[in-house]
Chains A and B, each alone.
Chain A
Amino acid sequence: MEKQVAVVAQAQTRHAADIGMPKERMLFELVKGLFDDLGITRDDIGTFVICSNDFQAGRTISNVFEDTPIGAYMKDETKVEADGLWAAMYAAMRIMSGNYDTALVVANSLGGSEFRPYLVMDYQLNPTYDRQLGLLNELSTAALQARSYMDRYGMTETQMDRIAAKLLRNAARNPYALQSKADATPEDIAASEYLYEPLRKLHCYPFTDGACAVLLASADRAKELTDSPVWIKGMSSSIDSYYLGERELFGSRSSRLAAERAYKMAGIKQPADQIDVAEVSAPFVHQEPIITEALGLFPEGSGGSVAERGLSEIDGAMPVCPSGGATGAHPFSAAGLIRIAECYRQLTGQAGEAQVADASTAVAHGQDGFCAQHNAVMVLSSEEG
């Protein structure tokens, strides 16, 4: 990558089922906290990229009342929908263009207290057909995807329970997570009720109120702002067909293409060796093997075996979602940005009890659409290189 961009700070709310305050105050406190920690003000920010969703917010142009609390008043701002990882990529492009030295990315969603995430997803369905039939929804489509992977590769429900249990245990080490259980076992997962088979409640993300802010800066500015910038080495996205009946649900073509492009930019040829930690957006735990395999981190179809052997644990060969991932907290628009924030914490040695030892290169992933129709990947490193 020619013009280097780095992550210099992250902030997250303590994600909650009900954040207990108006959105504007949530955003103000979040961003003010980030500014105060760095010793900067909104005057130091060149451009703002917001990620939020009109349907979730219950208002058109959801950024209208989000600008002022994040410091964008009378400044350059824009809004990306889809997911926070795309917002971060766009912000990075703005810096790479040379027009700006700093970009603040702020993503939020009150999916716990404000509006129902499943309905936000329903509004994404083709309204002339799928919404009329009422068969497909976020849960039923995810269940079909889980079954597709399990049928093809033989992953069992118990192995899927292991993934969920791992994520709950990891979330217990994450001060921001809303849902966690320090000693979670596969049996705990199996005790939760079936929603759409084979998915049980604890295989699915919790409804979350939460926000995340990430500050990006150009190389020179980054070094002024922090001693430990985390460099964006590669980034890209890709999109699949909307039509579920025409997709191979056991894999993720768009994750694979996005990763290939991001790895090429980053000079990564052997991701399984060169990536130290991965944060993927998997609102349903069966998506963790699908996406990580598409990212080249594990062999195709190995999800069951990976779960059995603990390879994706914090102390495993390829730690995946040491933060607890979407199982710990999943505010709709912020999900992918939180994955970047968590990679930043890992690569700066700030992940506390979830710290992966000697992590210097990470991959963050974000998704959008039913069964991850649309995917984005970012490679981050503590080495400027």
Chain B
Amino acid sequence: MRNVAIIGVGYTPVFVSKRKDVNMVEMMSEAVDAAFSNTNLKPEDIDAITFGNMQTFEGLNLPHLWASEHIRALDKPTIRISTGGTTGMSTLHAAYYHVASGMYDVVMAVTWEKQSEGDSQVGLAGIVMPEAMVMVQNGMDLYGGRGVGGLGGGSTGAASYQAMSYLSHYGAEVEHIDKMASLERTNASKNPYAHLRKVTTVEDVASTPFIAWPLRFGHTCPTTDGATVAIVVSEEKAKKLADTAAWINGIGCCASDPCTGNMIEGQITDPADQQACVIAGKKAYDMAGIEDPTREIDMAELYDGFAHQSLLWCEKLGFFSEPAHKMLDKGALEIDGEFPVNPSGGVFSTNAIGASAMNRPTECALQIMRKIEGEHQVPKKVKTAVAHGWGGLFQYVTVTVLGDKPRKR
């Protein structure tokens, strides 16, 4: 099995709520230029391109078509990947397979979202609205005890079920979500590519009102305009083109059932159960040769649209021998702690959805290569990092294990 690495990353200069100065393809071109600049590569060095975003947010179908010139894809093998929230990592995995297959040596993965072009709940409502409307039209009562009231607020409503279940299963309190939120926003203040960068105390978070208990306004992520590009290469090319690399040593993906917490079609599903995460994590660990995740991993970048999710994913990915919220209490999850979680600020601080699941492995890669631009480089040496993404109706999970050395064959 061919070894594959990330040798470079390009971000748009900023990740903000509204890029008023550029259209979508111009925004993407910025991240592509940054990737070329950071790796000293040119379009002729790129063998193929993988491309992804969550298109309903912009109302633009198959955006790789309009974007072909601006992402420098002309005359190149190009493929579009689209899997919802996991798109960023799915697009990176596609680039991984382009190289691992032996067909290509240098592949550029381009992910982005320009959420300001559409109503921010547009894309998410697009999943549940067709089902909900059909039910309403056929006389089904959605409001009586079915909990669809939770659909109000889009995925926040659904996430509140997950948060409540998480707290109940693991014995954590709302205060832990407040703490995790504060930790990540404070991390983001050190990251020039983060969106919400205000240093935020636990009190600041706790003073925000609840949307749906136990989730507060202060626990939710923003919607962001931004793009992320990764350059993915074979082992031979990594040696030729770069002085350091972050090796993609394990990948895993699992699709669970598309039911969101007791809501649709009467399925009883606990959105905090997340077997898909456990399975995807195990696949990635097996491929990477990780036998004990409590000992062999140095840090993680986790997809947390809501602050409780960082703690939930820590549990499901088996990072610790004690509960994640106790590790949080001990300060272990801080940037300078024993197991930094989301030193970038996570999705919780920056959420250009199509890019969000690729920012997790790109941040891990930059941490491993010690090429973080900004103040959020973790001080400890990162030999192994785990990147995670989720999407859909809480049912898709992708996991990537990155390392400072290629996997032993």
Please say whether the chains A and B touch (CB closer than 8 A).
yes
Most buried by B among A97, A128, A243, A261: A97
Chain A residues, CB < 8 A from B124 = 60
Task: Check B255–A67 contact: CB distance below 8 A.
Answer: yes
Q: How many residues of A contact B (CB 8 A)?
A: 62
Chain B residues, CB < 8 A from A98 = 1, 100
Chain A residues, CB < 8 A from B395 = 64
B83 within 8 A of A: yes
Chain A residues, CB < 8 A from B65 = 124, 239, 242, 368-370, 373-374
B373 within 8 A of A: no
A3 within 8 A of B: yes
A254 within 8 A of B: yes
Closest residue on chain B to residue A122 by CB atoms: B61
In the assembled complex, how far is the CB of residue A110 from the closest CB belonging to chain B, in whole angstroms? Answer: 13
CA of A277 to CA of B276, assembled, Å: 43
Chain A residues, CB < 8 A from B61 = 53-55, 120-121, 123-124
B217 within 8 A of A: no
A65 within 8 A of B: yes
CA of A48 to CA of B1, assembled, Å: 20
> B392 contacts which of A64, A76, A120, A370 (Cβ < 8 Å)?
A64
Chain A residues, CB < 8 A from B149 = none
B393 within 8 A of A: yes
CA of A68 to CA of B279, assembled, Å: 17
In the assembled complex, how far is the CB of residue A90 from the closest CB belonging to chain B, in whole angstroms? Answer: 6
> B255 contacts which of A72, A239, A258 (Cβ < 8 Å)?
A72
In the assembled complex, how far is the CB of residue A246 from the closest CB belonging to chain B, in whole angstroms? Answer: 9
- Produce 1/0 per residue, B93-116, CB < 8 A to A: 110011011110000000000000
A61 within 8 A of B: yes
Q: How many residues of B contact A (CB 8 A)?
A: 60
CA of A325 to CA of B187, assembled, Å: 56
Q: Which of B70-78, B222-230, B235-243, B322-330 lies at the interface with chain A? A: B70-78
In the assembled complex, how far is the CB of residue B56 from the closest CB belonging to chain A, in whole angstroms? Answer: 4
Task: Check B62–A82 contact: CB distance below 8 A.
Answer: yes
A213 within 8 A of B: no
CA of A324 to CA of B131, assembled, Å: 36
Most buried by B among A54, A55, A60, A374: A60
- Produce 1/0 per residue, B37-60, CB < 8 A to A: 000000000000000001110111
A3-B102, A374-B65 given as contacts; is B59 within 8 A of A127 (CB)?
yes
A238 within 8 A of B: yes
Closest residue on chain B to residue A67 by CB atoms: B255
Which residues of A238-285 have CB atoms within 8 Å of chain B's CB atoms? 238-243, 253-254, 257-258, 261
In the assembled complex, how far is the CB of residue A45 from the closest CB belonging to chain B, in whole angstroms? Answer: 12
B210 within 8 A of A: no
A86 within 8 A of B: yes
A37 within 8 A of B: no
A74 within 8 A of B: yes
Task: Check B275–A242 contact: CB distance below 8 A.
Answer: no
A79-B82, A93-B101, A368-B62 given as contacts; is B75 within 8 A of A254 (CB)?
yes
Closest residue on chain B to residue A77 by CB atoms: B255
Chain B residues, CB < 8 A from A72 = 255
Task: Check B100–A97 contact: CB distance below 8 A.
Answer: yes
Task: Check B77–A81 contact: CB distance below 8 A.
Answer: no
CA of A86 to CA of B100, assembled, Å: 17
Q: Which 10 A-B pairs have the closest CB atoms?
A: A61-B84, A97-B100, A60-B126, A123-B61, A93-B101, A96-B101, A60-B56, A369-B65, A98-B1, A93-B97
- What are 29 contact pairs spanning A and B, CB under 8 A? A2-B102, A58-B130, A59-B126, A60-B126, A61-B82, A64-B395, A74-B255, A76-B252, A76-B254, A78-B90, A78-B253, A79-B81, A79-B82, A79-B83, A81-B82, A82-B64, A93-B97, A93-B101, A96-B102, A97-B100, A97-B102, A123-B60, A124-B65, A125-B66, A127-B58, A240-B74, A253-B75, A368-B62, A369-B65
